[in-house]
């Protein structure tokens, strides 16, 4: 995959995700739709931090969950959430743009305690572990927002809340 195509896909999906994160109600950060579900704030934090994978994947040849640093404290406000998201997206974009197509085609390995979980080209890892993963959780977030009565932003077309 070309650097330009990967960057364009990243930019498009991150902009759509930001629209969703802009709607996250601070007063409902602790709310859960079910006892086994993540809280709205935890899901929003996960969405805000996911873009960090972009830089990790293209700047390193492997990632081992066993040696991963402990996550930082979750954002306390929507403004902090958006600032974290924007910073991670900018880092991912810069890292991708700094690589050649050959570097993006180089293998990347995900490990857990030294055991290989998966191996794939970096560009594929960015698409699957960042972009597709983001799309999945963004969909979850739209359900959370709907259950909170928050109008949904347009993503791939108009929503019932915002028809043209």
| pLDDT tens over the chain, length 164 residues | 789 999 999 999 999 999 999 999 999 999 999 999 999 999 999 999 999 999 999 999 999 999 988 888 889 999 999 999 999 999 999 999 999 999 999 999 999 999 999 999 999 999 999 999 999 999 999 999 999 999 999 999 999 997 76
- Could you tell me if residue 162 is inside a domain? no
| The pLDDT value given to residue 164 | 61
As for how many domains the chain has, the answer is 1
Q: What does the pLDDT read at residue 71?
A: 83
Whole-number Å distance between alpha carbons of 58 and 126: 8
From the CA atom positions of the chain, what is the Rg in Å? 17
> Does 101 map to a domain?
yes
What pLDDT score was predicted for residue 136? Answer: 98
| 3-class secondary structure, 31 | coil
Q: Which H/E stretch holds residue 50?
A: none
Q: Give the tokens for residue 88.
A: 């991670």
Domain at 26, CATH number: 1.20.120.450
Q: Is residue 29 part of a domain?
A: yes
Please check whether residue 87 lies inside any domain of the structure: yes
Could you tell me if residue 155 is inside a domain?
Answer: no
Residue 99 belongs to a domain: yes
Whether 14 is in a domain gets the answer yes
Q: Is residue 120 part of a domain?
A: yes
4 SS3 class: helix
Residue 31's domain spans which residues?
Answer: 3-147
The span from the CA of 108 to the CA of 103, in Å, is 10
Give me the residue label for tokens 């579900």.
37
pTM (2 decimals)?
A: 0.94
Integer angstrom CA distances of residue 94 from 3, 17, 67, 88, 136? 11, 18, 25, 10, 24
């Amino acid at each position: 995959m070309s650097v330009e195509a990967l960057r364009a896909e990243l930019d498009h999906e991150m902009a759509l995700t930001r629209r969703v994160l802009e709607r996250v109600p601070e007063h409902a950060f602790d709310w859960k739709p079910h006892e086994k579900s993540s809280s709205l704030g935890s899901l929003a934090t996960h969405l805000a931090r996911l873009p960090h994978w972009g830089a990790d994947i293209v700047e390193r040849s492997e990632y081992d969950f066993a040696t991963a640093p402990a996550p930082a404290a979750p954002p306390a406000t929507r403004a902090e959430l958006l600032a974290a998201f924007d910073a991670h997206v900018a880092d991912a974009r810069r890292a991708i743009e700094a690589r050649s197509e050959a570097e993006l085609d180089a293998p990347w390995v995900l490990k857990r305690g030294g055991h290989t979980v998966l191996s794939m080209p970096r560009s594929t890892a960015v698409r699957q572990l960042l972009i597709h993963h983001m799309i999945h959780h963004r969909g979850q977030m739209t359900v959370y927002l709907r259950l909170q009565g928050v109008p949904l932003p347009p993503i791939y077309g108009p929503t019932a809340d915002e028809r043209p």
